[in-house]
Amino acid sequence: MEKSGSVDSVESLCSKGRAIEKVLQCKCECRTWIKSQFLCIDLMFFCVQVYKDTSKGELPLLPEELVQDSAKDVTYICPFIGPVRGSLTVTNYRLFFRCTDREPVFGLDLPLGVLSRVEKIGAATSRGDVSYGLACKDMRNLRFVHKEPEDSLKKSVFEVLMKFAFPVSNNMSLFAFEYKQVFPENGWRVYDPLAEYKRQGLPKESWRISKVNDRYELCDSYPAALVVPVTITDEELRRVSSFRAKGRIPVLSWIHPESQAAVVRASQPMVGQNGRRCKEDEKLLQAIMDANAQSHKMFIFDARPSVNAAANKMKGGGYESEDAYQNAELVFLDIHNIHVMRESLRKLKEVVYPNIEDSHWLSNLESTHWLEHIKLILAGSLRIADKVESGKTSVVVHCSDGWDRTPQLTSLALIMLDSHYRTIRGFQILLEKEWLSFGHRFQQRVGHGDKNHTDADRSPIFLQFIDCVWQMTRQFPAAFEFNEYFLLTILDHLYSCLFGTFLCNSEQQRLKEEVPKHTVSLWSFVNSQLEEFVNPLYVHYASHVLFPTVGIRHLQLWVTYYIRWNPRMRPQEPVHQRYKELLAKRAELQKRVEELQREAANRTASSTSERAGSPTRSITPVQTFV
């Protein structure tokens, strides 16, 4: 069996060391570079890294990655193993720290994009030591201590770091625009809206793809292609857009292949205190209902708690009144806003990093409400999926602006309803469609390259969604084509700014910035080495709808994400590792059987008298996936 250098995320450290070594040896090959980079990220996981080639001090740089500054004698205060002395290097993409005088060799390698804050802690001590704290978006804080350069004209390495960590604030471009790796796959071609709606089997007699937003004039945060009922004209859509917050009109997101019940997304109606109405909007919703012959009812899911929805009326927003929208039932899903979520994650970080208080772990976890929010989001999605699947009714989903809670709910409901979105490529399409094209404000929510870490627009909405997906993969271990490493990779590159995928706030902005032209898509990278991300347990059941159990009892904290920096929480060899071994074993045996059969066939051909006890067993039942 070939031992490939592409190490699975959880292979034992031993072989990991070997793999790194191997990767370090063949630097010339670009692809391996990328791998090494991922291995490094991966390795941070274990807090222990093995660099063999330390004497030369060479760093595995990416194409276009340039060393900006480095400093020796920097101490990293590791909360788990104590102070570590080593050298620090800052490039235009990442930070390297390595310490060679301890066994095993210790290293840190993180993209600067994960930094949310870099600051000097306290003043210089008498010995001239300065301390720097680095707060990261991926649930850890790093602390370094180093000597202030004696030459006061020379900038400290941390000042350089600050410049490159926040390029947007310093009027520089993100590294994604410089990174010019070429992959065999082009991830920018993964999503084609027309092909996707065709796959869904969009019935032409009731729905049409409107070009009204072709130039993003109707709504600048929506995609160019919008699916609306045939009975509604573009002119009517324009009028609806003035009634919906940010012009985000109700448009189709997904349609059930059999019942034709539709999942429609929108933003809140601008009802206001006076109960404004818009007859085109009412007509549009009626048309959506009519497009589904199976039901004469419709559900409007407002993701917010009813109190908040009502409070929005003060600001001109609000929710659909049942007088104006007959046959529509309004349901509030009680999901809180971005600020509550941000606060919840902040609390969670406090609870899990760096140290966990064992005896109060559970109540501490509960006090963060993080899993409760996850439960509410999953429960809301479940109700949506249930109405569509079991009730055969169409649903409209919105929150305030329809770009945070709404994509969480629609995309989770879609994952439950449509097995296509549980494949690797299908999931990519889902993200491209529900999140990127429909304008989840990634730039604002993540704050790429922006030093303003207190920005109230930041919120872990997308992380929360990935967490919900992870919860589902836990409950249905064989229903998803991708593995945990895939989700981790997405989250790591949400912050890394290596790929263009999660840059900007909307499709329009991405086109304006020519993101697809100047950057590499994350999917280029992923799809070029799919085997890394495949869940070996995957069984493709095309028609299965997944209804997860949303009780807190079945939800778990995603330890391998939130607590991955804690070396003690390192996962043991998971089941799928052994499963992979089994798959390899099967492939090996299969090959062997084939060989023998060929041999036997040859022999019987040469001498018909010799009759080996060849098995009559057919080997056909052995196929890769049943």
Partner 1 sequence: MLSLGSGGAKSTKPSFVSYVTPEEIKSEKDPPKKEKLPDLLPGEVEFCSANPILKYTQDDLSQRGVFGTLFCTNFRVTFISDETPQEKKAKTFKNKLYGENDIPLVCVDHIYGVYDEKRKLITGGLVKNKYPSKMIIHCKDLRVFQFCLRFTKEEDAKKIFQGIAHHCLEEKSLKCVFAFSYMGTPSPGTDLSFCREMQRKQETIMFDSPEDWTQEMKRTKANCRLVIENKNFELSQRLPKYFVIPLAIGDLFSYQGKGLPIWCWSHYSGCALFKASFPPVTQEDGDFQKHLETMINAVAHNYLYSVKTEDLSESLPNIQDIQQSYNKFKQFFLIENSTDFWLSDVKWFSSLESSGWLDIIRQCLQKAVEVVECLEKDNTNVLITEEEGTDLCYVISSLAQIMLDPYYRTLMGFQSLVQKEWVAGCHAFLDRCNHLHQKDKECHSPVFLLFLECVWQLVQQHSPAFQFSETYLTVLSDSVHVPIFSTFLFNSAHHRESVMKAESPLAQSGPLSCPTVWDWSVQFDSKAQNFFYNPLYSEKVKHEKAVRKPHKPKHQRQLSLPSTAFKTPLKKGFFKDETDSLKKMLRVKRLSRWMGSPDSPAATTREFYESWQHRPVDYHGLLLPCLDGPAVRVWMQRYLRWIPEMYILGGGSVAMTTKLMELLSQVQDLKRVLEQRDTSQAAKIDHHPYLQHRLLSFGSSGRLSSSFPFAYTRNRSFKPIIPTGLMQSLMVTDSLASQEDEASSVASFV
> Per CB under 8 A, which of residues 358..397 are in contact with partner 1?
358-363, 365-366, 369, 371-373, 375-376, 379, 382-383, 385-386, 390
Residue 521 · residue 501 · CB < 8 Å: yes
Tell me: does residue 567 bind partner 1 (CB under 8 A): yes
Residue 107 · residue 43 · CB < 8 Å: yes
For residue 302, what are the CA distances in angstroms to 266, 319, 332, 398, 458? 10, 8, 5, 5, 22
Q: Which stretch binds partner 1 (CB under 8 A): 179-187, 234-242, 248-256, 340-348?
A: 340-348
Nearer to partner 1, 336 or 510 (CB): 336
Which residue type, as a one-letter code, is found at position 434?
E
Tell me: does residue 550 bind partner 1 (CB under 8 A): yes
Catalytic residue among 278, 399, 468, 504: 399
For the question of residue 26 being annotated catalytic, the response is no
The tokens describing 526, both together, are 């992923």
Q: Which stretch binds partner 1 (CB under 8 A): 176-184, 207-215, 280-288, 557-565?
A: 557-565
69 vs 541: CA distance, rounded Å: 53
> Per CB under 8 A, which of residues 461..500 are in contact with partner 1?
475-479
Tell me: does residue 12 bind partner 1 (CB under 8 A): yes
Residues near partner 1 (CB under 8 A), total: 103
Residue 9 annotated as binding site = no
Residue 314 annotated as binding site = yes
Q: How far is the CB of 504 from partner 1 (least distance, A)?
A: 16
Residue 523 annotated as binding site = no
Nearer to partner 1, 329 or 334 (CB): 334
Tell me: does residue 30 bind partner 1 (CB under 8 A): no
Residue 400 annotated as binding site = yes
> Per CB under 8 A, which of residues 59..118 are in contact with partner 1?
104
Provide the b/e sequence for 474-488 (b: ≥16 CB within 10 Å). Answer: ebbeebbbbbbbbbb
Which residues, other chains included, contact 604 with Cβ-Cβ below 8 Å and sequence gap of 6+?
Answer: 610, 611, 612, 614
What phi and psi, each to the nearest 5 degrees, are found at residue 284? -60, -45
> Which of 7, 48, 218, 395 contacts partner 1 by CB under 8 A?
48
**DSSP assignment string, 164-195:** HH-TTTTT---GGGT-----SS-GGGS--HHH
> Which of 72, 596, 598, 601 contacts partner 1 by CB under 8 A?
596
Which residues, other chains included, contact 303 with Cβ-Cβ below 8 Å and sequence gap of 6+?
Answer: 332, 333, 335, 380, 397, 398, 399, 405, 406, 408, 409
> Which of 276, 277, 540, 544 contacts partner 1 by CB under 8 A?
544
**DSSP assignment string, 309-356:** HHHGGGGT-----TTTSTTEEEEE-----HHHHHHHHHHHHHHHSS--
Nearer to partner 1, 34 or 352 (CB): 352
Tell me: does residue 172 bind partner 1 (CB under 8 A): no
Residue 580 annotated as binding site = no
The tokens describing 447, both together, are 């704050």
Q: Which residues are known binding-site members? A: 312-315, 337-338, 399-405
Q: Which residues are known binding-site members for substrate? A: 312-315, 337-338, 399-405
Catalytic residues: 399
